[in-house]
Amino acid sequence: MESLSIIQKIIIWAIPVIFAVTLHEFAHGWVANRLGDPTARFLGRLSLNPIRHIDPIGTLLIPGILLIMKMPFIFGWAKPVPINWNNLRNPRRDVALVALAGPGSNLIMALMWGLIAKIGLSLGDISITYPIVYMGAAGIMINTILMVLNILPLPPLDGSRVVSSLLPPHLAMQYNRIEPFGFLILIILLATGVLGMILSGPFLWTLFSIKSLFGLPIQAFRF
């Protein structure tokens, strides 16, 4: 499979990135609405329209810079869907379910992109269908990254909501006080390479599991 130019990479990654972050947030809002909190629906955020969820920095700028810098990974984020946790019918249980909806949606999307890549391979001449295969591989990668990143137990990532819901209330309160510093901690972990070491195991395991499931060539993941 041939190497791609920067413009080709941007075109191929754009759709998977936008869908990955948009549906991640939509899933949070959809589950919250089902469990008693209509906040996202009332504010027009319970929508599959990417424009309602796009964050200019997290959805467009950061992924674009990572592509231009030829980084080995791409990630981004959308505007968080507003949720009033007090509206949930069973807050301690439902907080965890709402939180898990985001990474769960990324896992489902990773599998769907795997199927798309498999279809691209089955269409025949790879020189013609390679954009479909590459886009499928990009979809697998971005969704796998978002899934394993968000299950980290670092406030305000989704994994921390699950941990908080399992802790006794007084410990959960202390634990949640980390949240204002969470993004800074994440940046430090990223800059020092610690984040990569933490995520590499589950990321590679998930990536190669999906690759094996659909019989995808490793070349499809070399951008």
Q: Which residue has the higher pLDDT, 174 or 218?
A: 174
Q: Identify the DSSP state of 3.
A: -
Q: Across 27-31, 126-130, 195-199, which has the greatest mean pLDDT?
A: 27-31
2 is catalytic: no
Q: Is the pLDDT of residue 210 over 90?
A: yes
How many CA atoms does the CB half-sphere of 158 hold within 13 Å? 25
Lowest average pLDDT, out of 53-57, 78-82, 132-136, goes to 53-57
* CA–CA distance, 153 with 127 (Å, rounded to integer): 43
On whether the CB atoms of residues 185 and 160 are closer than 8 A, the answer is no
Q: Per-residue pLDDT tens for 84-136?
A: 999 999 998 999 999 999 999 999 999 999 999 999 888 876 666 788 889 99
pLDDT of residue 98: 97
pLDDT of residue 167: 93
pLDDT of residue 72: 60
Q: Of 27, 20, 14, 3, which Cα lies nearest the Cα of 113? A: 20
Q: Which residue has the higher pLDDT, 217 or 150?
A: 150
Which of 12, 19, 22, 25 does the annotation list as catalytic? 25
* CA–CA distance, 77 with 60 (Å, rounded to integer): 9
On whether the CB atoms of residues 25 and 55 are closer than 8 A, the answer is no
- One-letter amino acid at 78 equals A
